Structure 1
Amino acid sequence: MKRSLKVILLSFVAVLLMIGCSAAKKGGTFEGVGSGKHGDIKVAVTITDGAITKIDVLEQDENKVLSEPVYEELQDMIIAQNSADVEAVSGASATSEGYINAVKDAVEKSGITLVAAKKSKQAKEKEQIPAEQDFDVVVVGSGGAGFSAAIEAAEAGKKVAILEKLPAIGGNTLLSGGEMNAPGNWVQKKLGIEGDSVDIYYQDTMKGGDNVGDPKMVRLMAEKALESAEWLRDDIKVEFLPDQLFQFGGHSFKRALIPVGHTGAELISKLKMKADELKIPVFLNVKAEKLIKDDSGKIVGVTATDREKRELTFNAKDAVILTTGGFGSNVEMRKQYNKEYDERYHSTDSVGTTGDGIVMAQEVGAALTNMESIQTYPIANPKTGMISLLADTRFDGAILVNQEGKRFVEELERRDVISKAILAQTGGYCYQIWNDDIDAISKTKEAHKAEYDELIREKLLVKADTIEEAAKFFDIDVDSLKETLTKVNAYAKAGEDKDFHHRAGLVSLEKGPYYIEKAAPSVHHTMGGLVINEKTEVLDESGKAIPGLYAAGELTGVIQGKNRLGGNAITDIITYGRIAGQQVGAMK
């Protein structure tokens, strides 16, 4: 009897302890991990009385400018619902899913059952944008062209707004390497590079586009290129590397300035800081739908929708400036204008690059040109289509070989030429090879560590001490590859590439360790779009300017011709974005 009573008492105490532990375990901070676009996302989730009160990101390799607003939006949603069962943010699904899964992992590890959230409309109502707003200038798109235009207009005294359909700013500018061509720049002078000029840059660009670009527009870009670069450096405070330049394919000189970090994040973050200083509002998750015309035919605003599909009106007293980019991520639109670029091709572009501005302008009578001209970037991730910035070593001596271990094209040829050459090889892919000597020049491994780790993880990149080991990893014909490297080393020593006439001169690959990266072409830039003049006014089919409508950047079709040379996009968007802003800023 005593024994039975003792057992009952012990059991009762155990139950009390369990209840006590359960009651106590309603709070704390717990870590969780999820897989994002570029690797693991690690978070710390704070739970108080069964409710998520805070989420901190501890580690991540996502694009910082792109991910921060996504994390903020998701944190608000999760806390409001007290649940990680929320939808991914449109336009950033991989990053969203990694963050959401990390939070779920943390909650699961906590062992806490979350309490049901109280329904509240307060947060939602607080975030709502007024249904109608008045501005002098409305800029559609928050990439380099959009920010440049908005800043110039605001500095001229105009009340400006920027509309962005995605949850984060930046567009293709953010995803790019951010390099910018400018003949006669300060780094060329420091490095002792002489002989470059506006004329040579103009000729390179015209030739690179098969002389299809509008000569007067290309000439204006060439003449304003250095001024645009100096504006970024001096006014926007963009930092460029002081002692390094890239020579992209088709260029006669090393003339491309490189931002710190080797990505467009430096440009976009500094442009946003300047916009904040000027108190320019940026409306995220707001998709421009249609241009508004008055009775005289002038464009006087934009209708838009927010993420709740509410209809919004942004009136523009002076002008609307379209800077929405091209249509590289719109497969149907690509096929409409060039059937070659169908579903077989991935895209390096932002998911928002779907041709919206082109379509909106066309609906009010804008003329289009050169729409069939679509460019692929030759060295992209064959699984995802993302541009490989790690592979910028190609501009400093890395070589391209096929599955058989043989070179097949000059590595500094035009992008379209290299892409077509790659697609003609076994499997439609290639391998890029470099060593530490080349990487020491390019510094890409240090600048793009997240991409390096991702490619290693995906088995699309190998580092090996010997070329035999590297070749074995990808099943490349090792004897043929060794023969190729022997030639390359000899040509590097002699200063003459007898096979493909490498315009910058080959670099020795005698020493390991070696890096071999698998790559394939991916749709990168659409050269066609709206017809604009030197004032960036959008023209109609008869060649007349549509009053109140301006455009700059990739959605215009008169500058790059049949093929855009590397480093010309940033020069284009900054130069013509500024011109658009200056034009509307001068309006009385």
Structure 2
Amino acid sequence: MKRFLTILLAIFMTISLVACGNANKSQTAIANGTYKGEGNGKGGKISVEVTIKDDTITDVKVLEQKETPGYETAMDTLKENILSKNSLEVDIVAGCTLTSKGYLEAITAALKAAGATPDMLKKNQGKDADVTKKEVSKTHDIVIIGAGGAGLSAAIEAKQAGADVIVLEKMPMAGGNTLISGAEYAAPNNWIQKKEGIKDSPDQFAKDTIKGGDNENDPELVKVVAENALAGAEWLRDEVGVVWQDDLMFFGGHSVKRSLIPAGANGKEIIRKQVAKAESLNIPILYNTTAMSLITDSNGKVIGVEAEGEDTKYTFNTNKAVIIASGGFGSNIEMRVKYNPAMDKKVLSTNTVGSTGDGIVMGEKIGAELVGMEHIQTYPVCDPLTGTLLYFGDARMYGHTIMVNKEGRRFVEELERRDVISMAIKEQTDSVCYQLLDQKGLEASKLEEQHGAEMEYLYKNKLLVKANTIEEAAAFFDIDAKEFKATLDRYNGYVKDGKDKEFNKRSMPSTIDTAPFYILKAAPAVHHTMGGLKINTKAEVINKDGKVIEGLYAAGEVTGGVHGTNRLGSNALADITVFGRIAGQNAAK
């Protein structure tokens, strides 16, 4: 009997242990552990390592990423929200759509490696969205709205002039449109021109700019940019640490090749060095902080800024001035249509989502005069799917490409003004163009070296083809191959003769005849808004009565008057640097 009871007890304990084990197993849908996954962001592969415990993501480590400097902060924001909610059902970070999607894709892949799906995570509510924001009041000499190229130039100059400066940036990273641009810089009489024997002058630059703006520019503002552009480029090089490449680009509308190229051929070099300089000067930059309104006294002088952060309402009082450098309104469809009905939602934009005209609206509310608001420029070579500016299109400025339509024919000079090329493209079949270059053009343009991640994206989305013959490349996009080949033969003949008999192309450095061949499919998108706050040559904002608004300065795309009806390529960097520096220097006085 005793032996029987012992056996019975053993059986009972075994059953209990099995039951307990099954119960423990049922409590955890995902096996605890660390799992790896990959996704595709704007800069290519994003690799992460996800730690899971008790159906909860406890950590996410980024093992590899090549996102634009500043954009990686989107992954920090997403991580915080994912850990808070223990869910992948989080909002993408504004302005960082591709980075956000790639990061979430990588985490989803890590869950798949764990044999799980996102809906198997244990849900919780995360942060309380209704928490009352705390109110903070601060005083600085100067408050700068916007941490793009103009705002950072102003901040550095003002700080070095002895002012106490703070910068407000509504996005989670610095840079604005400067960061995602090619950031080429038009500078007459620059050191590379002298080396290459190119004759140029500020006067010639000013004439090109005014002609390019259809004579609707403010000539005094243009003169200031022309006479100070070279000094601005040298300041970026010598004071800020920007590295310029040892070659130039020839942009449409310019009479000579004068545009400097930053290392890497994009705005990362400019913004990264400006942010580093600002940090070395202990200039605070408040990210995710949106300026809401300007504060004025009884006499109309600007004495501060009301702003909002994620959990804080700020009142920033100023001892000296406010500088608005918040950019244009290219991503504000309602505002675009208000001033130019043709620029509706059907037209995509190259701009960051932060380009919504906030500074223009704030300035107008206190009486600032607006100029040229109807002048909205499109960029000709953009992603037909997203509107993103394509660096691959820069090959055009080296002169190594031709642009054709679906019928295989050229239809515009490839080095014409941006607006002229854009409107010409819109008249073609499907409102797209096809840009051809060969292997030696690819190498001369340094596209694979500098923009390899973008090329991978273009291949993946069937917007770029590489082929051993013209016929094969044309077939990929269903271009009339016979006509295309005839067009190319004529063009190569023009190169050999030194004269483009069809469109008088101003730069034809080489024939297009070395396989493999590359064809890019592209379309125009809104790129720059020429209108904005009226300023004088001191960067002071002018009101509707033609008088200076005391305590208020502005620089960059938020202003109007410099570019007239149309901005020539590479003039923006000269504009934002010159007037950013002027605004900072004068505000600090």
Structure 2 Cα separation of the partners of residues 521 and 84 of structure 1? 34
Q: What displacement does 1:470 show?
A: 0.2
2:410 matched residue in structure 1: 407
1:174 counterpart = 2:179: yes
Tell whether the 8 Å contact from 2:251 to 2:259 is kept in structure 1 after alignment: yes
Residue 252 of structure 1 aligns to a residue whose secondary structure is: coil
1:302-350 CA-to-partner distances (Å, cap 9, x unmatched) read: 1112234x43211111100000111111111111111111111000001
Task: Read off the aligned partner of 1:365 and give its amino acid letter.
Answer: G
Moved more, 100-109 or 252-261: 100-109
Instruction: Give aligned-pair identity as a percent.
Output: 49
Per-residue CA deviations over 1:104-129 (Å, capped at 9, x if unaligned) read: 442453368766779889xx99xx88
**Are the counterparts in 1 of residues 193 and 199 from structure 2 also a CA contact under 8 Å?**
no
Separation in structure 2 between the aligned mates of residue 20 and residue 539 of structure 1, nearest angstrom: 72
- Aligned twin of 1:99: 103
Asked if 1:432 corresponds to 2:435, the answer is yes
What letter is aligned with 2:316?
F
Q: Deviation per CA, 1:143-163: give whole Å up to 9, x if none.
A: 000000011111111111111
Partner of 1:194: 198
Distance in 1 (CA, whole Å) between partners of 2:127 and 2:565 is: 54
Is there any run of 5+ residues in structure 1 with no aligned partner, and where? none
Match of residue 270 from structure 1: 273
Change (3 A) 1:20 1:478: same
User: 1:395 offset after TM fit, Å?
Assistant: 1.2
Quote how far apart the aligned CAs of 1:11 are.
Answer: 7.8
SS in 2 for 1:33: strand
Structure 2 Cα separation of the partners of residues 5 and 105 of structure 1: 47
Q: CA deviation at 1:543?
A: 1.2
Distance across 1 between alignment mates of 2:520 and 2:499 = 25
Contact 2:324 2:359 in 1 (8 A): yes
**2:364 corresponds to:** 362
8 Å Cα contact 2:85-2:127 kept in structure 1: no
Closer/same/farther in 2, CA of residues 248 and 9 from structure 1, 3 Å limit: same
Q: 1:194 to 1:105 in 2, by over 3 A?
A: closer
TM-score between the two structures when normalised by the length of structure 1: 0.92
- Using the TM superposition, give the Cα deviation of residue 21 of structure 1 relative to its aligned residue in structure 2, in angstroms: 7.9
- Give 2:225's aligned amino acid: M
Give the match for residue 322 of structure 1. Answer: 324
Give the distance between the partners of 1:74 and 1:44, measured in 2 at CA: 14
| Paired position in structure 2 for 1:373 | 375
SS at match of 1:131: strand
In structure 1, how many angstroms separate the alpha carbons of the residues matched to 2:97 and 2:487? 42
The answer (yes or no) to whether the contact 1:488–1:507 under 8 Å persists in 2 is no
Contact 1:488–1:506 (CA under 8 A) maintained in structure 2: no
- Cα distance in 2 between the residues matched to 1:478 and 1:11: 76
Does the 8 Å CA contact 2:94/2:353 hold for their aligned counterparts? no
- Pair 1:333-2:346 in alignment: no
Residue 213 in structure 1 maps to residue 213 in structure 2: no
- Partners of 2:429 and 2:482 in 1: how far apart? 18
Native 8 Å contact 1:461 1:517 kept in 2: yes
- Please say if 1:575 is aligned against 2:574: no
Report the more deviating stretch, 405-414 or 88-97: 88-97
Q: How far apart are the structure 2 equivalents of 1:510 and 1:105?
A: 43
1:559 aligns with 2:562: yes
The letter for the 2-side match of 1:236 is: V
Partner of 1:416: 419
Could you report, residue by residue, the CA deviation over 1:139-187 in whole angstroms, capped at 9, with x for unpaired residues? 0011000000011111111111111111111100001001101111122
SS of corresponding position for 2:144: strand
Structure 1 contact 391–444 (Cα < 8 Å) conserved: no
Distance 1:270 1:286 in 2: 22
Question: Who is 1:110 aligned against?
Answer: 114
The answer to whether the 8 Å contact 1:491/1:506 transfers is no
Please, what is the CA RMSD of the aligned residues?
2.6
**Structure 1: how far apart are the matches of 2:21 and 2:501?**
82
- TM-score w.r.t. the length of structure 2 is 0.92
CA distance in 2, matches of 1:558, 1:76: 43
Q: 1:196-241 CA distances to partner (integer Å, 9 max, x unpaired)?
A: 1111111111111111111111011011011000000011001111
Residue from 221, 228, 235 that aligns with 2:232: 228
Separation in 2, partners of 1:255, 1:538: 30
Residue aligned with 1:517, SS: strand
d(CA) in 2 for partners of 1:448, 1:69: 21
Partners of 2:111 and 2:462 lie apart in 1 by 32
Would the alpha carbon gap of residues 5 and 409 (structure 1) be closer, same or farther in structure 2, given more than 3 Å must change? Answer: farther
Give the number of equivalent residue pairs.
576
Moved more, 329-338 or 71-80: 71-80
Mapped to 2, the partners of 1:287 and 1:155 lie a distance apart of 25
Distance (whole Å) between structure 2 residues aligned to residue 332 and residue 84 of structure 1: 31
| Displacement of 1:409 | 0.5
Does the residue aligned with 1:468 lie in a helix, a strand or coil?
helix
Distance 1:494 1:302, change over 3 A: same
- Determine the structure 1 residue equivalent to 2:207: 203
From the superposition, tell whether residues 119 and 457 of structure 1 become closer, same or farther in structure 2 (CA, over 3 Å). closer
Query: Partner of 2:559: helix, strand, or coil?
Result: coil
Distance 1:119 1:371 in 2: 43
Q: 13-22 vs 366-375, which deviates more?
A: 13-22
Aligned to 2:255: 252
SS for the counterpart of 2:395 is helix
- How far the C-alpha of 1:474 sits from its partner, in A, is 0.5
What does residue 343 of structure 1 align with? 345
